[in-house]
Amino acid sequence: MTDAGLALADWFTAHCRDLPWREAATRLDPYRVLVSELMLQQTRVATAIPYFVRFVARFPDVRSLAEAPEGDVLALWKGLGYYSRARNLQKAAQAVVREHGGRLPEAYDALRRLPGVGDYTAGAVRSIAFGLATPAVDGNVLRVLSRFDGIDGDVALPATRRRISDLSAALSPPGRAADFCEGLMELGATVCLPKSPECTACPWRDACIAFTEGRTAELPVKRPKPPPERSERTALVVRDGEGRLLVEYRESGLLGGLWGFPERESEDAFEARSGVRPDLEGARSAGVVAHVFTHRRWRMEVSVCGVADAAGAADGPKPKWRWVTEAEFEALPVSKAFQKVREAARVFTGT
C-alpha cells in the first residue's frame, strides 16, 4: 500500500495550495502547526488565512501566547467563531510552558493531554511538524479513504473510524509522513469533494474502489445529523444618555470568555444582576436575528431601551458589566451572534 501513499505524497508536493502554514519555517514549527489546525476546525481555509497571519504575528511562539491576557487572544479570534478553540489553544500553550519547557511534546499521549487537542490534532502535529507517521482522521480523510477502499460502514461509528485510521497508517510511506498527511487533507479539500468529485485529477483514480465501481456518490456512508436545538431569546440593548451600550461578560457556557448583550428580564432582576435599571416601559423591538451554532439555533428578538435610573448609569454597572462606546464595542471579543444584534439595533436607531 505504500506505493499508493508515495503517489499521494508526490502529488501533494506538486499540486498543493500555497498557504501560510505550509511555508517551510512554519511547517517545521509544532506551535504554528497547532495554531493552524485548531483554526481550521469548523472553518474554511480562505477564512482562516488572515486570522492565522495576524495571530502568529502577535503571538509568534508558545510563551507569548501563554503569557497574553485572555482578552487579547479572544479579540484576535473575533469573527472566527467557536471561541472555545482560542481558549483551549491558550491553555495548551500554558501547559506546554509549565510542563514541557515551552516546547510542544512529540509523544502522542502528551499531545493528547493538552487542552483542545484530540486524536486528529495530535496526529496532524506529529505527522506534519515532527515527521512521525500518525493517523490524523478528519472529515476529509474519512471521505477520501472510505472511497479509496470502498468502505461501507457508517463513518460515525468507532469501528469504521478505527478501520480508516489503520488504513491511513498502512498507506503512509516511510520518511514522507508530513506530505502524506497533508496530501490526504488536500485531496479531500480540492479533488475528492463531497459532491461531484474531480476524479480525473486524482492520483488514486485507478486504485480507488469507489471510482472503479461507480460508487463515489454513495460513499462515505453517514447517518443523518440531528437538527440544531432551537432556542428563543430576547437580547436587550441598553443605551445610556451618552449613547454607550451596556454589555455583559460571560465567564462560562457556550459563549464563555466573550462579551455580549444581556437577556431581557424584569427591571428588578436586571438591576440586581447589572447595577443598571433599564427603562423597559420605553423598550422597542428592533427586529429578530438568527444565528446557528454547531448544534444550536438561536432566534433572538432585539429589544432596545434606555435607562430608567440616570444615577445608576452614571455610577457605573457592577463587575463583569460595562458601558462601552461603539469603538470600544468593536474592540471587544464578541460573538457573531451579538454582532448581528448590534447591527439590528444600529439599523433601528440609526446610530
pLDDT digits (tens, 9 = 90+) for 144-198: 999 999 999 999 999 999 999 999 999 999 999 999 999 999 999 999 999 999 9
Domains of the chain: 2-136+172-191 (1.10.340.30), 229-349 (3.90.79.10)
| 218 annotated active-site | no
Cβ neighbours for 83, distance < 8 A, ≥ 6 positions apart? 74, 77, 255, 256, 257, 258, 333, 335
Q: What is the pLDDT of residues 87-111, one digit of tens each?
A: 999 999 999 999 999 999 999 999 9
**Position 130 pLDDT exceeds 70:** yes
| 23, 37, 106, 267: the active-site residue | 37
CA separation, residue 213 to residues 30, 79, 188, 218 (Å): 40, 43, 19, 11
Cβ 335 vs Cβ 255: under 8 Å: yes
Dihedral of CA atoms 326, 331, 336, 339 in degrees, nearest 10, equals 0
Closest CA to 164 of 139, 192, 197: 139
For 349, phi then psi, to 5°, come to -90, -20
Lowest mean pLDDT across 4-8, 251-255, 287-291, 332-336: 251-255
Give the DSSP letter string of 252-263: SSTTTTEEEPPB
